[in-house]
Amino acid sequence: MSFDSLIRKYAPFIGCISLILLTHQRQTLMLAWFILPFLAIAYFIELVKCATGQSNWHEVRLRLLCWVVSFALIFAIHEYRWQQDRKQLNAIAAKITAFNMQQKRYPDSLKEIGLHAVRSEPHIGYKLQNGQATLWYLDSKQMYAFHYYHFETRRWDYVVP
């Protein structure tokens, strides 16, 4: 088997692994959505080749299964990350609210409520301005979108600039 045919045979698997490695990063799910139309066109062409006898059904199904599993894994990673972020930020919001009820003011920083490691996570933000607290975190699924917590209503808003 030549090098060219090996690359041609295993390119979808290499592509799947590369896509998973790239899109597991925060806010890169859009990359997967960008690739999806090209994959749909490529596999439509492969299905036509299979119908005309130019390609093997078994190989096409195996490569398609690889892509489907990859996309499912990518979406599962981002959904899990979203749930973990929301759980962590709900706990932070509860600590800020408790601090406000006890001290009758919002904390100047997250360090004041005992959270030191949060500043090392760039996707989380807290700011005190004119006596009003602002808590937010970047969305894992869409670039430039974030979740913003309203301390008055005690609910999250999803903001896409």
**How far is Cα of residue 34 from the mean position of the Cα atoms in its chain?**
14
Residue 49, pLDDT > 90, answer no
Strands, E assignment, 53-119: none
Mean pLDDT score, 5-23: 74
Residue 99: exposed, middle, or buried by beta-carbon count in 10 A (0-12, 13-18, 19+)? middle
Per-residue pLDDT, 121? 65
Task: Decide: 145 and 160 in contact? Cβ < 8 Å.
Answer: yes
Tokens of 66: 């690889």
Q: Give whole-number Cα distances, 157 to 86, 102, 135, in Å.
A: 12, 26, 11
- Which of 30-34, 87-91, 129-133, 155-159 has the weakest average pLDDT? 30-34
Q: Does 74 score more than 80 pLDDT? A: yes
Q: Residues 97-119: what's their mean pLDDT?
A: 83
Please give the full DSSP string across 15-48, using - where no structure is assigned. HHHHHHHHHTSTT-HHHHHHHHHHHHHHHHHHHH
Return the structure tokens found at 88: 């962590």
**Mean pLDDT confidence for 24-31:** 72
Q: Which residue type occupies 27?
A: Q
Share of the chain above pLDDT 70, in %: 89
